Amino acid sequence: MSFDFKSLLEESVRVHGHLCPGQVLGVRMSILGLNEIGIKEPKGKDRKNLIVFIEIDRCATDAVQSVTGCSLGHRTMKFMDYGKMAAAFINLKTKKAVRILAKEEARDKAKEYFPHIEDKYEAQTQAYKIMPDNELFDVMEVEVNIKSEDMPGKPLKRIKCDMCGEYVQDMREVEKNGRILCKLCAYGGYYTAK
């Protein structure tokens, strides 16, 4: 089965809400990653063989989710907050994995493809649709070791935090001074109770 870029981009735009350079990059990145690791039906027979590590929380992430069917809720998409336009695609069955990085120089090169388009984002959107993969992306074979507690499926363990009493799943608890704590109680978190 080959991937139909046009229909995948249309679906991605529907999910994301608008067409932008990140949508085009995310769809193209996903198609390239899936082909590299031998996943032909990410939303069908291959859905249990795929995990994606995404390194940015921008438009491209919605495109990757739309094309691959991977998501945080299914535990098949892992968010790594690196701020890089990159993703690693892992075939769990074969253990083949690649990391795809969008090349920074593709942004400027896009203008060469469409010099008459004044808006740089529109020029990028159109150019990214037709630029060859080797001008858009760096592809690196990688090895990704996924811990058992990070795999999809039911939680391996649930444990109560000794301080706040909330439950922690998937071995995310911390032992500190002989107590079992959630990370929020152990290190502080993103919110403060009022």
In a domain, 193, yes or no: no
Q: Contact, 54 vs 87, CB < 8 A?
A: yes
Residues 176 and 98 in one domain: no
Q: Determine phi and psi for 57, rounding to 5 degrees.
A: -110, 65
Residues 136 and 176 in one domain: no
Residues 118 and 67 in one domain: yes
- The verdict on pTM exceeding 0.85 is yes
Residue 87 sits in a domain whose CATH number is 3.30.1330.130
Residues 180 and 140 in one domain: no
Residues 47 and 87 in one domain: yes
User: 181 lies in which domain range?
Assistant: 154-187
In a domain, 87, yes or no: yes
Nearest to 13 by CA among 29, 4, 24, 2: 24
Nearest to 69 by CA among 57, 60, 59, 77: 77
In a domain, 14, yes or no: yes
| pLDDT, tens digit, 9 for 90 and up, residues 82-124 | 999 999 999 999 999 999 999 999 999 999 999 999 999 999 9
Q: At a CB cut-off of 8 Å and minimum separation 6, what does 133 contact? A: 28, 32, 139
Tell me how many domains the chain contains.
2
Residues 163 and 141 in one domain: no
| pLDDT, tens digit, 9 for 90 and up, residues 61-82 | 999 999 999 999 999 999 999 9
